[in-house]
Amino acid sequence: MQSAFAQQPMVTEDIAELETLKKRFAAELLLNPNEPYKAAQTVFGLDTGRALFASNFWPKDDFVRDEMERLLKEHGAAHFLPSKVDIAREIITVARAGKTASEQFAGYRLYADIMGMMPEKSNNGGNTSVLVAGAQKVMVVSSQGSDDDWAKRAANNQALLLEQAAEDLAQPD
């Protein structure tokens, strides 16, 4: 059995205004599908009574459902997903609220990764050139392979230089 509150209609001036409110609610519900009260708050502002009523009953309303279907067909589902900036804002909010430093740093790392602040992972055995964003007069040096490979090449080059120097000293002018 429904309560007396559930049977009360939404008090409004006319049908056109009610349809306008339901259309706005449908759009907001697509943006916040698991939070009907948040969607209703966006539509009704500080009128919590109307927001509570709408959040409880309008998600199942045929007019609201039809409007949501129309909006999805018109704009596509991706239109109602959060942007990269929205996601980053949510992540940084959660990171700042972390109870431990490790929780906070994990959130900051995810935020930095999403915002493109993390260096790209390399496929050359972990030898990655490091770029400092915004730094002036930075020389980019490409990877020279592993330390062992570099040491072998350096030793060979050093031996060649010593040999060349010995030959140059042995030649009379």
Q: What is the pLDDT of residues 5-63, one digit of tens each?
A: 444 455 556 888 999 999 999 999 999 889 999 999 999 999 999 999 999 999 999 99
Write the pLDDT tens digit of every residue in 113-150. Answer: 888 888 776 565 555 555 555 556 666 777 777 888 88
**Residues 76-87, mean pLDDT to the nearest whole number:** 89
**Per-residue pLDDT at 169:** 85
Q: What is the pTM of this model?
A: 0.53
- Which comes out higher in pLDDT, residue 173 or 151? 151
Of 5-9, 34-38, 78-82, 161-165, the range with the highest mean pLDDT is 34-38
**Dihedral angle over CA of 52, 53, 59, 64, nearest 10:** -120
Residue 135 has a pLDDT of: 54
Domain-wise residue ranges, the chain:
4-80, 84-114, 124-173
Q: How far apart are CA 137 and CA 61, in angstroms?
A: 62
Count the neighbouring beta carbons within 10 Å of the beta carbon of residue 89.
13
Distances (CA, A) of 50 to 17, 37, 57: 14, 10, 11
pLDDT at residue 3 in the model? 45
pLDDT at 63: 94
From residue 157, alpha-carbon distances to 5, 48, 109, 171 in Å are 88, 79, 42, 21
